[in-house]
Amino acid sequence: MTAVVAGVGQTRFTRRAGDSEATLATRAIVAALRDAQVEPADVDGIVRCDRDAVWEYDLPGVLGIRALHFYNAVPLGAGATPALLRMAAMAVTEGLATTVLCHHARDGIVRATPPPAVEAAWLARLHDISEADVARVTLAHRRAAARNPKALARRLLTAADRRRSPYVAEPLRRVDLAVPAAGACAFVVTASERTRRPAPRILASMQAAVPSATRHASEWFVGAPLDHIARAARAMFAAARVRPADVDVACVNADASALVPLALRLYRVARARVNPHGGQLCEAALDGVNDVVEAVRQLRGDAANPVRGARLALAAGSLLEPTAAVLLGRPRSP
């Protein structure tokens, strides 16, 4: 049995906080159920992020959802959201649930959590990622976002424009760092036999817990930093029976531009189109959940900047948190 992403939903993305997390999540969930052509009463499982406002007991009794028999929370952080699909796929293939709803919302209120600028800058130095590399990533993301009506940072930048942006933590300037956004995304995961429309298949997934630099500096920096992510990635590709070079679209976390070349190196993705939606940097910073939506849409052909003939997509969370990634395959033709 193959688990598929039967539907996706998302709200408008905004810079400014307005609606509550609950309202945003509900809008995305309604859109995902509609997109999947699933009856709310069929939903029997849910996976959320552990710090979200909408919990498993908030949903039964609303939206036509009756009762949940599988519920789980993945640890929130910008690395977590691909794990929503990992947990949902596990529930479906193990027969724990038939129709699993995944959601994540952010109300856009900036909290005490510092941006990942400093850790990303340290990693850039350790891995010889130069300011020129960072600039290339930022400019490319702006070019992609300029053609994505949903994106929040759509103004094209020249290298000179970028140099006028102040440093936050060298070599990262303000425009090289994502600005927190408000919005929500949701998915419906079910077995391939149950879907009414062509649905991207969840081929394999991974999680890798990365000790945080500030909490456990020693372990983060000993040996080859982040090597455990590379090892988990190799196992994921092997489980999916595909090669990194086969990836057509790579939606990797771009909370800081320096993280993008590093992610491509760790996942050994060579020729994929990277973040055709503009990524966390330019579409919206929503803990990566919209990167997963983009991977799904690319395989269905309804992305804003479609990559022609895309058959294999990678969505990978931030390298700075307990991270997760998922490999999605194009829908099987009926």
Partner 1 sequence: MLPPLPAPNQDTQEFWDGCRRHELRIQRCAVCGTHRFAPRPACPACTSLRFAWITCSGHGSVHTWTVIHGPTLAAFQAQTPYAAGVVRLDEGVFMVGQIRGCDPHAIRAGLRVTVEFDDVADDVALPHWRVA
The residues of the shown chain that bind partner 1, judged by CB under 8 A, are 114, 118, 121-123, 125-126, 166-170, 172, 213-222
The residue (of 242 and 260) whose beta carbon lies closer to partner 1 is 260
The residue (of 221 and 306) whose beta carbon lies closer to partner 1 is 221
| CB 100 to partner 1: min, Å | 36
| CB 114 to partner 1: min, Å | 8
User: Angle at the Cα of 115 (from 111 to 118), degrees rounded to 5?
Assistant: 145
Structure tokens at 191: 């077995």
Could you tell me which of 132, 169, 174 has the C-alpha nearest to residue 153?
174
| CB 256 to partner 1: min, Å | 11
β-bridge mates for residue 185, sequence order: 10, 104
| CB 213 to partner 1: min, Å | 7
The residue (of 223 and 334) whose beta carbon lies closer to partner 1 is 223
Tell me how far apart the alpha carbons of residues 104 and 15 are, in angstroms, rounded to a whole number: 17
**C-alpha neighbours within 13 Å on the C-beta side of residue 63:** 26
| CB 316 to partner 1: min, Å | 23
The residue (of 225 and 322) whose beta carbon lies closer to partner 1 is 225
The residue (of 163 and 196) whose beta carbon lies closer to partner 1 is 163
β-bridge mates for residue 188, sequence order: 7, 101
The runs of H, that is alpha helices, within the chain are 21-36, 82-93, 117-126, 131-146, 159-164, 217-221, 227-240, 259-267, 279-282, 289-300
| CB 174 to partner 1: min, Å | 9
User: Angle at the Cα of 320 (from 108 to 289), degrees rounded to 5?
Assistant: 45
The residue (of 110 and 334) whose beta carbon lies closer to partner 1 is 110
Tell me how far apart the alpha carbons of residues 122 and 78 are, in angstroms, rounded to a whole number: 18
